[in-house]
């Protein structure tokens, strides 16, 4: 048995945020957002105005910080319990969207503790109090269509990836005007995160015909359009915004692999953005996984029209294509070149390798990965060197 879960509606287009004004079945909306970017860009006001136009009373919950904490989630849930919305509108980057999903759980089920929901698929039924709309401002995490939310324990600094199709949003709104405001490095990093989502979903052990179709098309669009998007081309940016969402639908159901396992742990240790960690790791992970999944990686290469007759040649071309894209985007191909010192790396390398094996994403990787394997891949990514796996 397999399952494929995505939002009921996805609205796509310039000014799509106005779709909120048609949701006349709801009475009260709480709008959850991050720092100031949505307010500065005028999008918070647009969301509020559209909800009011639909006849809703509104309340704002602003200030969700990057890497949202359990404390922030419980604060938001309390605000929801007081206001009693029947619609939750999350607008912003991955952090406010993730935080709002977790707030939703504790609004619907105030009796639960955070410990009760950290196991995958342990969240009880939602939607007895509110439905959920997600409006992403960045083009990478695809939280607007996924069953995931990453929440940090502020005391231990441990990140908990909550996973349950209950928290897949009901409505996603891809308003193409919003990602136009992303700065260059954020566009590059989040775009490489999305490319990694699509590639990992395509080879993941849980992949299906449905996730394959979304993943392979997302890979094509991102590969063709990311450089132009980073250069500020508005059409390319709009294509990337849709493609990252397709990648999200794919990986929410097919799951991910060890590129994300290593990105999660290195990102936390070295304070390097999540997408850039994936960009650094991806070529080495492809080489490692291709030992057992050569044909599927070769399919990706062929779908991109890369050179090579044999599967082996296609895999080589794919690795080179990812490295070339990184160079075009100005992303350096090793942790060392990204400012991590060798002394700092050596102190934590074994710890990271061990932690990465225990990461939930490792379970759906196409090739079994030992701590030694992880360490070998990590060494490649630190020094920027190729080895035979």
Contacting positions for Fe ion (CB under 5 A):
193
> To the nearest whole angstrom, how small is the minimum distance from the Cβ of residue 372 to Fe ion?
25
Q: Which is nearer to Fe ion, 23 or 255 (CB)?
A: 255
Nearer CB in complex with Fe ion: 131/193? 193
Quote the least distance from Cβ 140 to Fe ion, whole Å. Answer: 7
Residue nearest to Fe ion (CB): 193
| Helical packing angle, 311-329 and 274-303, nearest 10° | 140
Q: In the complex with Fe ion, which residue's Cβ is closer, 237 or 260? A: 260
Give the other-Cβ count within 10 Å of 44's Cβ: 21
Cβ at position 194, least distance to Fe ion in Å: 8
Q: Which is nearer to Fe ion, 239 or 264 (CB)?
A: 264
Helix axes 258-270, 274-303, angle to 10 degrees: 160
Which stretches does DSSP call E strand in the chain?
9-13, 28-33, 57-61, 87-92, 131-136, 148-152, 159-163, 171-175
Q: How many CA atoms lie within 13 A of 243 on its CB side?
A: 28
Backbone angles phi, psi at 334, to 5 degrees: -150, 155
Q: Tokens standing for 222?
A: 């991102």
Nearer to Fe ion, 193 or 293 (CB): 193
Closest distance to Fe ion from the beta carbon of 260 (Å) = 6
Nearest approach, Cβ of residue 274 and Fe ion (Å) = 6
To Fe ion, the closest distance from the beta carbon of 190 in angstroms equals: 9
Q: Considering beta carbons, is residue 143 or 299 the nearer one to Fe ion?
A: 143
Query: What are the CA-CA distances from residue 272 to residues 2, 89, 163, 186, 339 (Å)?
Result: 35, 29, 24, 12, 9
Asked if residues 319 and 313 have their Cβ atoms less than 8 Å apart, the reply is no
């Amino acid at each position: 048995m397999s399952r494929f879960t995505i939002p009921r509606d996805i609205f796509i287009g310039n000014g799509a945020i106005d779709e909120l004004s048609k949701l006349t079945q709801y009475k009260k909306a709480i709008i959850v957002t991050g720092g100031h970017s949505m307010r500065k860009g005028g999008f918070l006001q647009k969301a509020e105005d559209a909800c009011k136009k639909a006849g809703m009373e509104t309340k704002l919950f602003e200030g969700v910080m990057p890497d949202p904490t359990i404390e922030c989630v419980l604060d938001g849930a309390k605000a929801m319990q007081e206001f009693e919305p029947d619609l939750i509108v999350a607008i912003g980057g991955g952090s406010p969207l993730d935080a709002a999903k977790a707030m939703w759980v504790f609004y619907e089920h105030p009796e639960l503790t955070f410990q009760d929901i950290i196991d995958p698929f342990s969240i009880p039924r939602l939607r007895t109090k509110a439905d959920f709309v997600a409006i992403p401002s960045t083009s990478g995490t695809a939280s607007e269509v996924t069953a995931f939310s990453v929440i940090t324990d502020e005391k231990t600094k441990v990140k908990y990836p909550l996973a349950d199709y209950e928290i897949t949003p009901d409505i996603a709104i891809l308003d193409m005007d919003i990602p136009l405001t992303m700065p260059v490095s954020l566009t590059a990093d989040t775009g490489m995160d999305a490319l990694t989502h699509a590639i990992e979903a395509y080879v993941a052990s849980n992949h299906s015909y449905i996730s394959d179709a979304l993943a392979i098309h997302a890979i094509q669009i991102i590969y063709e359009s990311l450089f132009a998007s980073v250069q500020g081309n508005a059409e390319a940016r709009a294509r990337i915004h849709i493609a990252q969402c397709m990648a999200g639908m794919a990986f929410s159901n097919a799951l991910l692999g060890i590129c994300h396992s290593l990105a999660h742990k290195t990102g936390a240790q070295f304070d390097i953005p999540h997408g850039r960690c994936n960009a650094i790791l991806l070529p080495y992970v492809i080489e490692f996984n291709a030992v057992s999944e050569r044909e599927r990686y070769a399919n990706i290469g062929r779908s991109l029209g890369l050179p090579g007759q044999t599967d082996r040649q296609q895999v080589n071309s794919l690795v080179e294509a990812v490295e070339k894209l990184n160079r075009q985007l100005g992303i350096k191909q090793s942790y060392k070149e990204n400012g991590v010192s060798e002394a700092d790396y050596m102190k934590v390398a074994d710890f990271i390798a061990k932690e990465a094996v225990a990461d939930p994403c490792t379970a759906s990787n196409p090739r079994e990965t030992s701590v030694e394997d992880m360490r070998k891949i990590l060494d490649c990514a630190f020094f920027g060197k190729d080895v035979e796996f």
